[in-house]
Amino acid sequence: MLCYVALIVLGIMSLFSAKYRPLFKRALKCVFLKATLRPCDTGLDEELKAQSIAGIMKISPKAASFVNRHFQIFSTLFTITFFLSMIFTAQGLYNFYLYGNCNGLEGGFCIYSGIIGNNPSLLKPPADLQGITYGNQSANITVVEFGCYVCPYTRAAESDIKSLLAKYNNTIYFVYKPFPLPGHNNSKEAALAAYCANEEGKYWEYRALLFDNQQDVEANGTAALTGFASRLGLVNFTACYSSGKYMPEIQKLAEQGVSCGLYGTPTIFVNGQAFVGENAAKQADTRIGQLLSK
Amino acid sequence: MDIQKIRQDFPIFQKRQGLVYFDSACTTLKPRQVLEAQRAYNEEYSGCAGRSAHAIARQTSDAFEAAREKVAKFVNAKPESVAWTRNTTEGLNLVIRSLDYSKRNKIVTTKLEHHSVLLPIFEQRRRGIATTGIIETGKDGVVTEEACAKAIDRDTALVAIHHTTNTTGMRSPIEKIVKIAHDNGALVLIDGAQGVPHSKFDFQKSGADFIAFSGHKMLGPTGVGCLVGKPEAFENLDTFIVGGETIETVEMDKVVFMKAPKRFEAGIQNYSGAIGLGAACDYLSKIGMGDIEAHERKMAAELIGAISSIPGSQIYGTPDPAKRCGLASFNLKGVDKHQVALMCDSMSKIALRSGLFCAQPGMESMGAGKGAVRASLYLYNTPEEIKVFKDTLEKIAKLGS
């Protein structure tokens, strides 16, 4: 049984060191023989058993004797456990890649987050609900999104945000807090422009234009932003935008995001529980569903 | 005989600290003197012998023939009795497959033989060239004079038998067998692979017609061995492998072959190996085969004692150390042979062999048809190593208790 485990482990080790390749070839031959219902004649299983028992014997001769007597059971259990853990690891990596969390939409503790230093469960929820708001202020569920209008991940999550707002409407209170990323051009300008559009009651329309024309915003800045305002017929936009009167609030909310420990956008807090990445809205949707079903 | 001084001649002991090499029946370690002789050939005069006339070719010829003389002296034979082979197997095949069976066609042997003896005999039988006769041996693996007398008769062309088995380290009564064979007009071929390296062997005194042995089992290189034969016995052999250097003249309708041993040395020979084997003979002779044999006998007693003291151990062959070289095959109750060998390696760097040792019928006849573990010693092994071996075996034996 152990040759199946050896095939995987030695296969990986062989990628990094040629000294493991002869052993890998033996494991491969052994697995091939077993897969074709022939006995493994490479001696690899025997070697692995002997080395395992010898290793255990150094610690406890009694344990070595026990394992030796039941080696077939132990090796079978070990092999099954190994492959199960491989499956779970692969699933976790897939979820981590897709959702930013190895538990997928469920969220919660994820060791990969800890390894790369980004762990949503360590984020602190914002202290207030200041920002651009939507929904029922007295709702029991608050959803706070930290986003950047020129961040591709925030844009990728936007359709899920829209679905989420349409789905839960007045059962939640939604707050958008701008978190302009310094790595993107015109991120602060876009946040300012959105505030100005909000002043004239056209926030969501303007927000849609920002995400739909994200590259234009990043490349052309004020020209693009002014153009969107014209398309929406905003009359006070230029004055508002030129004054920069919302910049202090944008700056304050960005600092709030930093104090929350944000490491990426979008970051969505559902009653304080954080979800990060382009699938954050999907995870938030699941979490809201759980909260409402209680 | 200073074992610690001897061990200093073997570079492997410096390179692999703690190695306990108990697999000398498979192949022996190589001393610096042998390696140096081979290095000198390969670096300083790497020519071919008996062909070209330039200086390094002449030097090669001289060294090659000097090596033949050293080997001949080592077994007390004449140089013209020594034919180079690749190994014992080739020497045995050469005799068994080239002998004239037109007047007598029975080959007598024992079940205890290495496959290198049995398989060429079985091949001759399969081809309808020869029949076989078996000298019966008991479970203790002892070859008796009576059993030999019963198996060898006037139809016997050849008696092919071990000097020392590779499964138990026990010896055949060679001189008695030779007498019975010759009384019946049969030739005697000795498998000397395990005998020549471990005891003072006198070819002329033994009376045997042929003896084959390998270089690598007596501190020499792999890929070289010898077939030593009486000149008149060689005349009974047809050609085996033919080619360059085996002939006097070649015409399109007539070939005149050389006399033995050159008749059997076709093509470029393993000069480096032969020269290395010559150096190994020098090395062993300098220490003295009598001293080596005495050392091994003493070590055999300790080895047998160590294994016997382990509960659940079973040693194959006679328990009498006096009848063995430093070799013992055994099993531990409840622990697989391969596991014992692998664990000894893993736990204490003890190199052992496990399996059937290329002697399946022999192992089956001794009740070890599923194989065994073999510890085989040589001049470089020490009592301290046997102590390590014993301690390790004690731990492993507990797995099966």
- The token duo for A251 is 């700056």
Q: Which residues of A touch B395 (CB under 8 A)?
A: 57, 61
Say if the Cβ atoms of A46 and B346 lie within 8 Å.
Answer: no
**Pair B277, B41: CB distance under 8 Å:** no
- On whether residue A26 sits in a domain, the answer given is yes
Whether chain A has a CB inside 8 Å of the CB on B55: the answer is no
* A114/A122 Cα distance (integer angstroms): 9
Which tens digits make up the pLDDT trace of A58-94? 899 889 999 888 888 988 888 899 889 999 989 888 8
Q: What pLDDT sits at residue A44?
A: 81
Closest to B88 measured CA to CA, from B96, B78, B80? B96
Residue count (chain B)? 401
Chain B residue with CA closest to A57: the answer is B395
DSSP three-state, residue B66:
helix
**DSSP secondary structure letter of residue A130:** -
Looking at the domain assignment, is residue A18 inside a domain? yes
Q: Is the pLDDT of residue B78 over 90?
A: yes
> Which of A38, A65, A99 is the last residue in one of the domains?
A99
Q: Is residue A106 part of a domain?
A: no
d(CA B392, CA B88): 33
**Confidence at residue A46, expressed as pLDDT on a 0 to 100 scale:** 85
Of chain B residues 360-399, which have a CB less than 8 A from chain A?
Answer: 395, 398-399
Question: Are residues A93 and A156 both part of a single domain?
Answer: no
Same domain for A153 and A20: no
pLDDT in tens, B228-239: 999 999 999 999
Mean of all residue pLDDT scores within chain A:
89
Q: Please compute the mean of the pLDDT values over residues B259-278 and round it to a whole number.
A: 95
Give the confidence band of B35 by pLDDT, cuts at 50, 70, 90: very high
B380 closest CA partner among B284, B248, B244? B284
pLDDT at position A96, please? Answer: 79
Yes or no, beta carbons of A53 and B339 under 8 Å apart: yes
Out of B342, B395, B401, name the one closest to residue A47 (CB). B342
Residue-wise burial string across A7-19, b where 16 or more C-beta atoms lie within 10 A, e elsewhere: bebbeeebeeeee
Put simply, the answer to whether A49 touches B339 (Cβ < 8 Å) is yes
Does A200 lie in the same domain as A152? Answer: yes
Same domain, A144 and A53: no
Number of residues written out for chain A: 294
**Residue B395 or residue A71, greater confidence:** B395
Determine contact: A56 vs chain B, CB below 8 A. Answer: no
pLDDT in tens, A2-44: 788 888 888 889 899 888 888 889 888 888 888 888 888 778 8
Q: CA B210 from chain center: how many Å?
A: 13
Q: Which residues of B touch A65 (CB under 8 A)?
A: 398-399, 401
* DSSP SS3 for A18: helix
User: Which residue of A lies nearest to B348 if distances are taken between CA atoms?
Assistant: A54
In a domain, A114, yes or no: no
pLDDT value of residue B9: 97
Measured N-to-C along each axis, helices B55-74 and B32-44 cross at an angle, to the nearest 10 degrees, of 160
More confident residue, B393 or A11: B393
Over 80: is that where the pLDDT of A278 sits? yes
Rounded average pLDDT over A125-139 = 93
State residue A1's pLDDT score: 73
Tokens 């071996």, residue located? B389
B217 DSSP 8-state letter: G
Q: Are A114 and A259 in contact (CB under 8 A)?
A: no
Q: How far is CA B345 from the centre of its chain?
A: 25
Q: What mean pLDDT do residues B309-317 have? A: 93
pLDDT bin (cut points 50, 70, 90) of residue B12 is very high
- In this prediction, residue B51 carries a pLDDT of 85
Q: How far is A39 from chain B (nearest CA, A)?
A: 16
- Interface contact A40, partner B, CB < 8 A: no
Give the CA-trace dihedral at A14, A19, A23, A24, to 10 degrees. 20
Collect all residues of chain B within an 8 Å Cβ-Cβ radius of residue A51. Answer: 342, 346
CB-based contact A50:B335 (threshold 8 Å) = no
Is the confidence at residue B63, as pLDDT, over 70? yes
CATH number of the domain residue A253 falls in = 3.40.30.10
By annotation, the residues of B acting in catalysis are 358
CB spacing of B399 vs A46 below 8 angstroms:
no
- Does residue A207 lie in a domain region? yes
Residue from the list B343, B345, B401 with its beta carbon closest to the beta carbon of A53? B343
The more confidently predicted of residues B278 and A28 is B278
Residue of chain B nearest A61, judged by CA positions: B395
What confidence score (pLDDT) does residue B85 get?
97
Look at residue B200 and give its three-state secondary structure: coil
Q: Are residues A183 and A270 in the same domain?
A: yes
The more confident residue out of A122 and A210 is: A210
Residues of A in contact with B336 (CB under 8 A): 46
Range of the domain at A216: 120-293
Dihedral of the alpha carbons of A238, A241, A243, A249, in degrees to the nearest 10: 160
Q: pLDDT tens for residues B323-347?
A: 888 999 999 999 999 999 999 999 9
DSSP string covering A48-63 = HHHHHHHHHHHH-HHH
Report whether B136 contacts B149 (CB < 8 A): no
B399/A68 Cβ within 8 A: yes
- Is A53 in the B-facing interface, judged by CB distances under 8 Å? yes
pLDDT band for position A108 (50/70/90)? Answer: low
pLDDT, residue A19, reads: 86
- The domain boundary, picked from A46, A69, A99, lies at A99
pLDDT in tens, B152-176: 999 999 999 999 999 999 999 999 9
B342 and A61 within 8 Å at the Cβ level: the answer is: no
* B226 burial type by CB count under 10 A (0-12 exposed, 13-18 middle, 19+ buried): buried
Examine the domain organization and report whether A88 and A151 are in the same domain: no
Per-residue model confidence (pLDDT) at position A224: 95
Dihedral sign for Cα A8, A9, A12, A16, please. negative
Mean pLDDT computed over A274-281: 88
**Which of A70, A99, A128 is where one domain is finished?**
A99
Q: Could A53 and B395 be called an inter-chain contact, meaning their C-beta atoms sit closer than 8 Å? A: no
Distance CA A33, CA A40 (A): 6
Contact yes or no for B112/B135 (Cβ under 8 A) = no
Tell whether A143 and A266 lie within a shared domain.
Answer: yes
Nearest-CA neighbor of B371 among B392, B344, B341?
B341
Biggest distance spanned by C-alpha atoms of chain B: 72
Residues A217 and A173 in one domain: yes
Give me B267's structure tokens: 């093509």
Return the residue matching tokens 């939640």. A172
**If DSSP codes are grouped into helix, strand and coil, which group holds residue A221?**
coil
Res. A201 pLDDT band, cuts 50 70 90: very high
Element (H, E) at B205: helix B203-206
Residue A108 lies in a domain: no
pLDDT score of A113 more than 80: no
User: Residue B398: its chain A contacts at CB < 8 A?
Assistant: 61, 65
* Check whether domain B3-27+288-400 has CATH 3.40.50.11540, yes or no: no
For helices A203-212 and A187-199, angle between their N-to-C axes, nearest 10 degrees:
150
Q: What is the per-residue pLDDT for A23?
A: 87
Which tokens go with B299? 């070590």
Report DSSP state, residue A43: S
Interface test with A, best of B338, B346, B353 (most A CBs within 10 A): B346
Residues whose CB is less than 8 angstroms from the CB of residue B297 and which lie 6 or more positions away in sequence, other chains included:
B321, B322, B324, B325, B326
Mean pLDDT (whole number) for A107-136: 81
Q: Where does B34-286 sit in CATH, by number?
A: 3.40.640.10
Of the CA atoms within 13 Å of residue B56, those in its CB half-sphere come to 10
Are B398 and A61 in contact (CB < 8 Å)?
yes
Chain B residues whose beta carbon lies within 8 Å of the beta carbon of residue A46: 336, 338-339, 342
Q: For residue B250, is pLDDT > 70?
A: yes
Q: What is the pLDDT of residue A82?
A: 87
Q: Nearest residue on chain A to B341, judged by CA atoms?
A: A50
Give the position of tokens 């079978």: A76
Report how far residue B242's alpha carbon sits from residue B284's, in angstroms, rounded to the nearest whole number. Answer: 33
Arithmetic mean of pLDDT, A242-248:
95
In chain B, which among 314-343 make CB contacts under 8 A with chain A? 335-336, 338-339, 342-343
3-state secondary structure of B193: coil
Please give the average per-residue pLDDT across A228-246, as a whole number: 94
Number of domains in chain A: 2
Query: Is residue A10 situated within a structural domain?
Result: yes
Q: Between helices A203-212 and A152-168, what is the axis angle to 10°?
A: 140
Measured CA to CA, the distance from residue B221 to residue B251 in angstroms comes to: 37
With respect to residue A232, please indicate whether it lies within any of the assigned structural domains.
yes
Q: Which residues contact A197 (CB under 8 A, 6 or more apart)?
A: A203, A205, A206, A207, A228, A229, A232, A234, A237
Distance in angstroms (rounded) separating the CA atoms of residues B245 and B237 = 17
In sequence order, the 6+-apart residues with CB closer than 8 A to the CB of A285 are A105, A160, A163, A164, A167
Residues A275 and A138 in one domain: yes
Do both A272 and A176 map to the same domain?
yes
- Among residues B308, B285, B312, B322, the alpha carbon closest in space to that of B375 is found at B308
DSSP notation for B69-132: HHHHHHTT--GGGEEEESSHHHHHHHHHHHB--SS--EEEEETTS-HHHHHHHHHHHHTTS-EE
Question: Helix and strand tally (H, E) in chain A?
Answer: 14, 5
Closest by CA to B159, choosing from B89, B201, B210, B193, is B210
The answer on A172 and A90 residing in a single domain is no
Domains of chain B by residue range: 3-27+288-400, 34-286
User: Angle at the Cα of B53 (from B49 to B55), degrees rounded to 5?
Assistant: 85
Whether residue A216 is found in the same domain as residue A279: yes
